[in-house]
Structure 1
Amino acid sequence: MQPDLLGGGSGAPAAIHRLFFALIPDEAVAKQIETVATGVAASQLLRARMVRRSRYHATLHFLGDHHELRQDIVRAAISAGGKVQASPFDLVLDTATAFHGREPPCVLRSSEEPAALQTLWQDLRQALVLAGLGSHISRSFAPHVTFAYSRGGLPPSTRVEPVAWRVEGFALLHSVVGAGEYQLLDAWRFQSR
């Protein structure tokens, strides 16, 4: 009998529900990311599991993995998200690199992180703390878009054709690990000032 991974007792691994805030590229930007990612994979002879275009995102705050979709966390997160005020800003993804791990994530990053992105992360973090979710969030931020998971060595950091992304909002997402697409729980558009 296979052990239950999260204590559900049925013999089958229990579903892992993941909650996080993220920036989601529009279709045009997602296509550009895909083109750059495909080019990096080909030029580096990367043996990797590529991420589907519909799953591209840049995580702002990870709210944890849970046995079930925690409605208390969802409600607090939606309340916090609604308190954040920001204006649209530009993010340029111009570097491909990889993080360490069992299946190292291959990512696109910005060589110059916009101040508005750091402010957004800090403002959302503060709203989450005030909403009682401080124990669920990270104290550091390394903005990136994962495009693949390497099945070989780590590719070297390299400059790529820049992807210009006009960030106009953020979203709260839910996923069941290994089950496919993300579920959009709520989203907030920035107001031009």
Structure 2
Amino acid sequence: MVYQNYIKKMIDFILSLLGLIILSPFFIILILCIKLDSRGPVFFKQRRIAINKSEFYILKFRTMKIDTPKDTPTHLLKNPESYITRVGKFLRKTSLDELPQILNILKGEMSIIGPRPALWNQYDLIKERDKYKANDVAPGLTGWAQINGRDELPIKEKAALDGEYIKKMSFLFDMKVLFLTLLSVLKSQGVKEGAN
């Protein structure tokens, strides 16, 4: 509990602040690319579930056209590719669309490592996570389920992996998840349209 309540929060704050400072020039380049590629806002906000099933708005770089149906996972759209912008394809493939969540971490709404925040209307996933107390921790930018199948996992398996993370949560385990995430991103593993 000491790690979860104090050390983990301190690490999240320090690393997200450093990340924001170091990556700010890169942010500016991505913002310009998004604005030049398609009309609409730079950022995409979406209602998600946070710790103890409270709600917050997750931030992402916008990768889809502004006429895309809201609150629908991409893989449930008919012909999802038709909604994704040219720059959006690159951002999704490289997971760079997730970078603005550094701001969510700075605000204390998310952690670097934890279960990926469910959409507010993913009732089946939220209910399944209750079995493992996976709704009782801060959601993460990446997590154990993310590196073990990501969007390809069925809900029951995803929730079980989130539960496994809760049991193993520690500094060393978080470092393992972070390292494996970097490998996964470099290989573009487990990414399928519809991501969380």
TM-score for both structures, normalised by structure 2: 0.25
* Greater strand share, structure number: 1
In terms of fraction of residues, the more helix-rich structure is 2
Q: Which has the larger radius of gyration?
A: 1
